[in-house]
Structure 1
Amino acid sequence: MANQAANYTEDSIRSLDWKEHIRLRPGMYIGKLGDGSAQDDGIYVLVKEVIDNSIDEHMMGNGKTIDVKVSEHKVEVRDYGRGIPLGKVVDCVSKINTGGKYDSGAFQKSVGLNGVGTKAVNALSTYFKVQSYRDGKTKVAEFERGEITNDPPETTSSGRNGTSVVFKPDETIFKNYHFIPQYLDDLIWNYCFLNAGLTINFNGQKYHSEKGLHDLLSRKTDVDNLRYPIIHLRGNDIEIAMSHTNQYGEEYYSFVNGQYTTQGGTHQAALREALVKTIRDFYGKNFDATDVRASIVGAIAVRVQEPVFESQTKTKLGSQNVAPDGPTMRTFVNDFVKKELDDFLHRNPAVAEALQKRILQSERERKEIAGIKKLANDRAKKANLHNKKLRDCRIHLDDKKGDEDMQKATTLFITEGDSASGSITKSRNVQLQAVFSLRGKPLNCFGHTKKVVYENEEFNLLQHALNIEDGLEGLRYERIVIATDADVDGMHIRLLLLTYFLQFFPDLVRRGHVYILETPLFRVRNKKETIYCYSDQERQAAINKLGNKPEITRFKGLGEISPEEFKNFIGPDMRLEPIILKKDTSIKDLLTFYMGKNTPDRQTFIIDNLRVEKDLAEEVGA
């Protein structure tokens, strides 16, 4: 201790420049890193930070078109706004606290108020190029990991006014990263929904919306199965769309100044509260709040001055007020909903009747399962004291205080059988990774009501482990990972679990919390090196690399992989396949096809896609 104290001198204090700080602590600027398998992984935040600047220009009335191109490892964004002032092009992308958004008169309600966005993109890219076109002149600058590599003088140009940014994320920071097209598609559509009239040309395709949040809900839901047409309300600095479905759960899309707040915040909480209050007042009945909100799908977008977010990545709004001297968010949203929704229901009696019927149906369903629900919850509480199915971790997503980066890394593995759960349990990170063990194949719950969740002990214990009985606000793990063998039985268990989640907790899937664990199919090794392969192509590449007839092992089940090996597959480089619901996916139709009665269509599908063990063994020469 004495030596440590003696060595603590002025020389021990090191000041990092902006590039070093961002690269050393990227999570402070862009949230978690990830490899692109989750919608909020860092590579998508980089894309957003650049597009946000172009959107702010559009909001100020400058430019109606943005061109975006994303290839495997390169992103290009070109807007047609005013262009960065040519003398400040380098400063704007390489000096912290330099930007046009500190003057609240110029950008009253912009997304990025911190002047950090493009600097973070610059520092975290192996190549970054910015070019501004302004009044017949242009200025370009190129960087590598934040260091300027090319800074030529201004030249004349015939290009339209605006700004172009090209960057390549740094693969040493975003390891094994890949862009998932569906996530980028959602990102671009959200920009268009929130900026009606804007056109974004994304990878050669035109994205455009005229009806804003109405179009968003039309795209996100199966319109034919809505209980009544989408209610769309617009006001100054607020827009709301809503309807009710036949599915379980609540589903919300919330935005602040164009930013998709995936974790909600004060505006979303205010909307949930205002809907219940207004509907109770309209019908003159004290409906239970859960019955009003059951099966609702809603979207809210607000524009506020000086928004306060609960994290750098702006996924949850913390602002209590709409403006520094303005009304509270709660009052602002409640006053709008109270007037506009009440007026709408008076003008549209057919919609009002359909809405009431859906509430009354939810009330009946809730009362029908009240008895079994109480018994099941009592059993679950007792089981939680000695729940042998759950081997929990120490940090949880819903912890009130703690490290946000750590909480976002929390994972629950759902496994089948003692051998598989044993391997994961022994090799997991006990701080962040929990294991829930299934007893054989779970029940096929397709076509059942939510009553089955409480009657089936395994399903009930699983919903309690996740803490999602009353919604996702208390979700205890960021990622729910289905970890089963890649054989016929394992695939069947995956389908049964996905049926459970899609039928009763679809929001869990929609919000990108559910994944499939990818584990290696082969181990190829010689005396010097071991390579794990996740496909036949990787196996062939490993054989070519090691040469001279290496030893090849094919893993037929998770239980065959030793705990010592398994820790390599559930560590920082864990490969996960996200479960993504596409825009044209109807959950009802999807589950009917895969889990309903054995139709000729499904028989044909199975026969066409069947690959038996013998064929695979011959194919790989095992």
Structure 2
Amino acid sequence: MAENTQYTEDNIRSLDWKEHIRMRPGMYIGKLGDGSSADDGIYILLKEVIDNCIDEFVMGAGKTIEISIKDKLVNVRDYGRGIPLGKVVDVVSKMNTGGKYDSRAFKKSVGLNGVGTKAVNALSSFFKVQSSRDSQLKTAEFSQGNLMQEEGPSETSQRKGTKVSFIPDELIFKNFKYRNEYVERMLKNYVYLNPGLTIVFNGEKFHSENGLKDLLEDNNNVEDMLYPVIHLKGNDIEVAITHSKTQYSEEYHSFVNGQNTTQGGTHQSAFREAIVKTVRDFYSKSYEASDIRKSIISAISIKVMEPVFESQTKTKLGSTDMGGDLPTVRTYINDFVGKYLDNYLHKNTETAELLQRKIVQAERERKELSGIRKLAKDRAKKASLHNKKLRDCRIHLGDTKKDRCLESTLFITEGDSASGSITKSRDVNTQAVFSLKGKPLNSYGMSKKVVYENEEFNLLQAALNIEESMEDLRYNNIVIATDADVDGMHIRLLLITFFLQFFPELIKENHLYILQTPLFRVRNKKETIYCYSEEERRNAIDKLTGKPEITRFKGLGEISPDEFVHFIGDDIRLEPVMLDKAMSIESLLQFYMGKNTPDRQKFIIENLKVEIDLVEEK
């Protein structure tokens, strides 16, 4: 019989604040990651520090925020009121200490409920805070949340405000690097939501006078818009709406108290509903909701008292009330859109006519597709019963209550050998595999009909669950995993064309990636190093003593499942596919997928390196 295990006071262990954050970082900042994904933890750390500066701006203190990222060191300086000098250490290292618990000072605050800077402190190998106010300067320096030194208060001529410097801890964030594109997008969102604020990042200024109108115009080529952006503002609400000439699906940018709610929530659902109701009432026609919203590009920002989110990282709003004596979120948004969008359409008859024409066209296309869509759905249902193409995972993006939903990933592979290796070595909780038979169809210039007629595209659309709406997307990361040869490049290009043609917002919202796989394995008896470039290979040869064995991998199928686990696990290297805003989607597709002259083919083969994959911003 097993020995009775004693359960006494000695078994009860209280973790101090920093131990708990370091042991369970995901509870505070979502997934860890290396910076290749926009929602990786290193960006949440930066965001938490900036949120405090934004709160100062909202309170009318400090109109400029200066940010620099050099190598791995982050500096954030505001010109707000400065942390009260006697509380500088407590604010960044004591739980339940901070100004945000005083609702008079921060009625509609954005950060992690006062936990933010403590999480940054605990998860940084170096963390320094300086507060300047009343001509006095106080400084405190930490490492992994431990106070290393404290100086001041002492006389200073510095302008008032707070400066935070930190280096994310490489024990937690392995091989990380900040990508300027993601940082810039975050900073642009801050200035769109706070007109009049200036953010200077590595010397470049970001500023917006027109809020969400600027957001839509900066993120889309104006030539792709059907009509000028409709921009409406109220006390605690701002919306911007237009329709695209080129894209099929709906696109929403939604915010609550300055937080980008990438997974929507009650406010986004109410906004979608309000647009449909208002448009139906305006035209006195009961148009289908999907016809009204097809191709919409829009943004909504609301301010709510004490919002409730469905996850710690605040990507989905769960609140149903605006707070105070205001009505529910749904009623508030419905009333606002109902009144102001209706007024706008009455005054701007040209926009109203263009919108109606778009709806009628969408209705016609839907009816033309209805027969084939039903057949395709039945086919997809049958296929999913014995669908060898998709080997699914257990946790999906929609499972917001599960810790790892942001890690949900679909690998799109070519051929059985590559998909076999990934399938055997993947994490069955968060990683799914979809295998292609051969080269997919070139969908350039084709209508949506092809998605239903082509079995592979139809099954891929069904696997992603994006036919009706992006809100139902099942995987946060869609990863193209093809060989790095010319054939693999071509398949990669054809898949990117498919997404650009029919689901461009998957790329706009940073869901699409290219899997980086090693070109070489360099090993001796003690150590194996996988190398992703010539330079890494040379460094590995220098590092390993003796005469190391060097293997060049020609394709994914050559890499055994035992090895593959290293390339899709914690050390996965993903290269995001990004859109160059300066070029319209139509002209971009025409350049890459139009009639290929030998010159263009040569250009594609020579230039379609992973670093600039098709659409990487210059």
Is the structural similarity TM-score above 0.5? yes
- SS for the counterpart of 1:274 is helix
**Aligned residue in 2 for 1:538:** 536
Partner Cα distance (1:40, 1:168) in 2: 18
Which letter maps to 1:364? R
- 1:517–1:577 contact (8 Å) kept in structure 2: yes
Deviation of 1:582 after TM superposition, in Å, equals 3.7
**Aligned residue in 1 for 2:240:** 241
The answer as to 2:98 corresponding to 1:109 is no
- SS for the counterpart of 2:173 is coil
Which letter maps to 1:455? E
- 2:221–2:584 contact (8 Å) kept in structure 1: yes
- 2:251–2:296 contact (8 Å) kept in structure 1: yes
Partner Cα distance (2:519, 2:605) in 1: 23
**Aligned residue in 1 for 2:556:** 558
**Aligned residue in 2 for 1:307:** 307
- 2:227–2:243 contact (8 Å) kept in structure 1: yes
Partner Cα distance (1:267, 1:432) in 2: 28
Deviation of 1:583 after TM superposition, in Å, equals 3.2
Question: Are the structure 2 counterparts of residues 192 and 399 from structure 1 closer, same or farther at C-alpha, using a change threshold of 3 Å?
Answer: closer
The correspondence for 2:444, drawn from 436, 443, 446, is 446
Question: Are the structure 2 counterparts of residues 476 and 195 from structure 1 closer, same or farther at C-alpha, using a change threshold of 3 Å?
Answer: same
More displaced stretch, 387-396 vs 29-38: 387-396
- Deviating above 3 A after TM superposition, structure 1's stretches of 4 or more consecutive aligned residues are 606-611
Partner Cα distance (1:320, 1:142) in 2: 41
Partner Cα distance (1:609, 1:378) in 2: 41
The correspondence for 1:491, drawn from 476, 489, 501, is 489
Question: Are the structure 2 counterparts of residues 559 and 457 from structure 1 closer, same or farther at C-alpha, using a change threshold of 3 Å?
Answer: same
Deviation of 1:125 after TM superposition, in Å, equals 0.5
Partner Cα distance (2:399, 2:130) in 1: 44
Which letter maps to 2:480? I
- SS for the counterpart of 1:326 is coil
User: Which stretches in structure 2 are left out of the alignment for 5+ residues?
Assistant: 610-618
Which letter maps to 1:82? R
**Aligned residue in 1 for 2:204:** 205
Which letter maps to 1:544? D
Question: Are the structure 2 counterparts of residues 608 and 567 from structure 1 closer, same or farther at C-alpha, using a change threshold of 3 Å?
Answer: closer
**Aligned residue in 2 for 1:413:** 411
Deviation of 1:358 after TM superposition, in Å, equals 1.0
Which letter maps to 2:593? M
- SS for the counterpart of 2:394 is coil
Which letter maps to 2:57? H
Partner Cα distance (1:607, 1:121) in 2: 43
- SS for the counterpart of 2:319 is coil
Partner Cα distance (1:203, 1:585) in 2: 25
**Aligned residue in 2 for 1:588:** 586
Question: Are the structure 2 counterparts of residues 585 and 46 from structure 1 closer, same or farther at C-alpha, using a change threshold of 3 Å?
Answer: farther
Question: Are the structure 2 counterparts of residues 554 and 297 from structure 1 closer, same or farther at C-alpha, using a change threshold of 3 Å?
Answer: same
More displaced stretch, 572-581 vs 52-61: 572-581
Partner Cα distance (1:249, 1:81) in 2: 42
- 1:266–1:317 contact (8 Å) kept in structure 2: yes
Partner Cα distance (1:226, 1:599) in 2: 30
**Aligned residue in 2 for 1:619:** none
Partner Cα distance (1:399, 1:112) in 2: 23
Partner Cα distance (2:278, 2:64) in 1: 39
- Aligned residue runs from structure 1 range 143-292, under 5 A: 143-246=142-245, 247-292=247-292
Equivalent residue pairs, number? 608
* Cα deviation code 1:347-404 (max 9, x no counterpart): 110111111111111111111111111111111111111112112223322347x523
**Aligned residue in 1 for 2:295:** 295
- SS for the counterpart of 1:62 is coil
The answer as to 2:321 corresponding to 1:317 is no
- 1:443–1:496 contact (8 Å) kept in structure 2: yes
The answer as to 2:44 corresponding to 1:38 is no
Partner Cα distance (2:270, 2:608) in 1: 50
**Aligned residue in 1 for 2:466:** 468
Which letter maps to 2:52? N
**Aligned residue in 1 for 2:478:** 480
- SS for the counterpart of 1:314 is coil
Question: Are the structure 2 counterparts of residues 608 and 491 from structure 1 closer, same or farther at C-alpha, using a change threshold of 3 Å?
Answer: closer
- SS for the counterpart of 2:62 is coil
Deviation of 1:71 after TM superposition, in Å, equals 1.5
**Aligned residue in 1 for 2:612:** none
**Aligned residue in 2 for 1:29:** 28
Partner Cα distance (2:101, 2:121) in 1: 20
**Aligned residue in 2 for 1:80:** 79
Partner Cα distance (1:193, 1:609) in 2: 34
* Cα deviation code 1:184-234 (max 9, x no counterpart): 010111111111011111110111111111111110111112110011001
More displaced stretch, 547-556 vs 121-130: 547-556
Question: Are the structure 2 counterparts of residues 96 and 500 from structure 1 closer, same or farther at C-alpha, using a change threshold of 3 Å?
Answer: same
* Cα deviation code 1:125-151 (max 9, x no counterpart): 111111111011111111111110111
TM-score normalised by structure 2 residue count: 0.96
Deviation of 1:571 after TM superposition, in Å, equals 1.4
**Aligned residue in 1 for 2:614:** none
Partner Cα distance (1:198, 1:397) in 2: 33
**Aligned residue in 1 for 2:67:** 68
TM-score normalised by structure 1 residue count: 0.95
- Aligned residue runs from structure 1 range 88-103, under 5 A: 88-103=87-102
* Cα deviation code 1:328-356 (max 9, x no counterpart): 00010111101111011111101111111
- 2:592–2:604 contact (8 Å) kept in structure 1: no
Deviation of 1:153 after TM superposition, in Å, equals 2.8
**Aligned residue in 2 for 1:337:** 337
Which letter maps to 1:495? L
- 1:252–1:297 contact (8 Å) kept in structure 2: yes
Question: Are the structure 2 counterparts of residues 563 and 605 from structure 1 closer, same or farther at C-alpha, using a change threshold of 3 Å?
Answer: same
Partner Cα distance (1:502, 1:249) in 2: 11
